[in-house]
Amino acid sequence: MRARRQLVLRVGAAGLGLLLLAGCTDDQRQPGEPVTEDDAAVLAELLHLNHEEGGADFVVTVPFADDAVLTLTGQIDFRRQVGQAQAVTVVGGEDRDTRTLFFDRDDLWAGDVPGLAEALAADGAPEAAYLRRTLSAGEGEPPLLDVVVQVLQNLAAERPDRPAAFLDGPYRWQGEQAVDGRPATVYRLRDERTVAVDDSDRTLVQYRTPLGGVEVTVTLAEHGTRRLALPTAEETAEAADHPEIAEAFGI
């Protein structure tokens, strides 16, 4: 199980980290101004609020090559660190790959890929529809999909941070914008990261971070309790037991 780190120090695989945010608005404020004490109080509760709310719907977009975009659309239970998503890779405006994903703190399941169930049945797993593998621990160059999953999982914390921690450092008020029609306050963080926080309920609605030459954008909505079920043992085959199939299907 991964250790839970506080927001100010959070730096997950491939540079995940530092999710800060939000606060009051003022017509006289200018982009680039330091956060105020009121902002700091909101920042300190942000990831804790995600945990308290329980979960959220999400859309993650990652342009990772020329004319190529990975999009994950799904739900996450922040308390259990369990999620499910539809992953679509579009290249040159055309869908090239679509699959269903599930994940928890340790593992990733992939299925609903044409031909996968048939290949597993021929390889001795007649009831399996999903392949499961261990999520990368972050050493070396983890797969992009693993980094995206860990970005999502790092958007919640069991305890709030100290407000004072946000009053020093590069944290800046950046302005106002609408995210999916919701008025939000945007803050600039370290290393070109930004967050947008809902002006009405102070929930995190968008997080952007550059990672290894690409930008990951996470948009959250409909915060609240989620009850998500992972694939059963009967539906699951281990990628380690079917390495050729896992490689052939990009799992």
| pLDDT for the residue 27 | 59
Compute the distance between CA of residue 225 and CA of residue 78 in angstroms, rounded to an integer. Answer: 9
What is the gyration radius of the CA atoms in the chain, in angstroms? 19
Share of the chain above pLDDT 90, in %: 67
The residue among 41, 37, 75, 43 whose CA lies nearest residue 59 is 75
| pLDDT for the residue 138 | 67
Mapped to the 3 state alphabet, what secondary structure does 118-181 carry? HHHHHCCCCCCCEEEEECCCCCCCCCHHHHHHHHHHCCCCCCCCCHHHHCCCCCEEEEEEEECC
DSSP assignment string, 7-49:
GGG---GGG-----------TT--TTEEP-HHHHHHHHHHHHH
pLDDT digit string, tens, across residues 35-75: 999 988 888 899 999 999 999 999 999 998 888 999 999 99
Residue 2 has pLDDT above 70, yes or no: no
pLDDT digit string, tens, across residues 77-127: 999 999 999 999 999 888 789 999 999 999 999 999 999 999 999 999 999
pLDDT digit string, tens, across residues 185-209: 998 887 888 999 999 999 999 999 9
| pLDDT for the residue 4 | 37
Residue 25 has pLDDT above 60, yes or no: no
What are the structural domains, with CATH classification, of the chain? 7-248 (2.50.20.20)
